[in-house]
Amino acid sequence: MKLLETVKINQWNLQSRVVMAPMTRSFADLETGVIHPDTVAYYAKRAKHGVGMIITEGIAVSPEARGTIGIPGLYTEDQTEAWKEVTAQVHQEGGIIIAQLWHVGRLSHSAITGGLQPVAPSAVQANGLTHRVGLPYETPKAMSEEDIQKVIQDFTKAAINAQLAGFDGVEIHAAHGYLIDQFQFPWVNFRKDAYGRNKYLFLEEILQAVANSIGAERVIVRFSEHKDDTPLFFWEQPEKEVIEILDVFRRTGIQVIHPSAQTYRKPLAGHELTLHALVRKHWEGVVIGVGELTPEIAEESLAKGEIQLAAFGRLLLSNADLVKRLKEDKSIKDYNPKSDLQHLR
């Protein structure tokens, strides 16, 4: 299987084309944001059994970046030190590990952020309730220029801390209606300044700052059409949106991207192509595929060059040894949230 091939992507030598998708687990210390001790074995086990690249659960870049309880961080020395054992063990098992850097923006509550009011491009309250805690989203503070610069610095500092902790790179989470994506969301960004006139400026400045500090070749970007709090939203002009965001990646030197689709094979609402097919039409770099992939769908997409890496989420929760099972042609266990989400195993 092409899925099981070794491959070199930028400076990363991957033992397979299988990627562990980022999945929020919420097992970090509620107060300190320091990872749970079981996190070490949780990630190392996947690397041991052949996963080429592990992308961590979303890691907060600041206290106000958190959207629920138990979110790990990379903004303190203690948090950074705790991650060192994870990266060391993953490397010992032959894996590559990427820190996903995350800021949820308005999708939070002051009870989660330590009393800080959530922030957003404009003061527009999100629909629904915070994850796990079930608190209604608060009306966010419209970000000032100073707030924007602070968040850019927070992402940059977290990226530097990730490098200090031994991570092989970072993924900037610019998808799913979280803070960076909120600037690109016409229902949330009503600004009249440069960040309103150019909805991709915030993303571009974060990518440029992070690339300048750790190298663009160590940066991956995740983006999406869908928003977690607004399931009915869709791009009116998908091709235009994709072309514009890909131009941002080119300008900032990004070479590996992670388009996030809920269902890989489902065409976009306003286009005949799927998200990944549309991206491939306009992007010459590396693409990570994701969206309820099966090994069969991944293999087909890799074979035709639509993607270069395939990310699996639930299958890697229920099968830490997924790659080994594929190599040995063994059955794959079905995902069971009742058992697979209760523990880091």
Q: Cα–Cα distances in Å, from 281 out to 30, 225, 340? A: 43, 17, 37
Contact 12, 53 (CB under 8 A): yes
Sign of CA dihedral 313, 171, 222, 253: negative
Q: Which of 178, 195, 200, 264 is catalytic?
A: 178
Phi, psi at residue 55, to the nearest 5°? -105, 120
144 CB-near residues (< 8 Å, 6+ apart): none
Q: Per the structure block, which two tokens stand in for 226?
A: 């869908």
For residue 42, indicate whether it is catalytic: no
Quick one: 209 exposed, middle or buried, by C-beta within 10 A (0-12, 13-18, 19+)? middle
Q: Give the integer Cα–Cα distance in Å for 98 and 53.
A: 7
Q: Give the integer Cα–Cα distance in Å for 101 and 57.
A: 9
Phi, psi at residue 305, to the nearest 5°? 80, 10
Q: Choose among 27, 98, 23: nearest CA to 335.
A: 23
What single-letter amino acid sits at 247? D
Q: Give the integer Cα–Cα distance in Å for 49 and 214.
A: 29
Phi, psi at residue 171, to the nearest 5°? -115, 125
Q: Give the integer Cα–Cα distance in Å for 326 and 321.
A: 9
User: Annotated active-site positions, please?
Assistant: 178
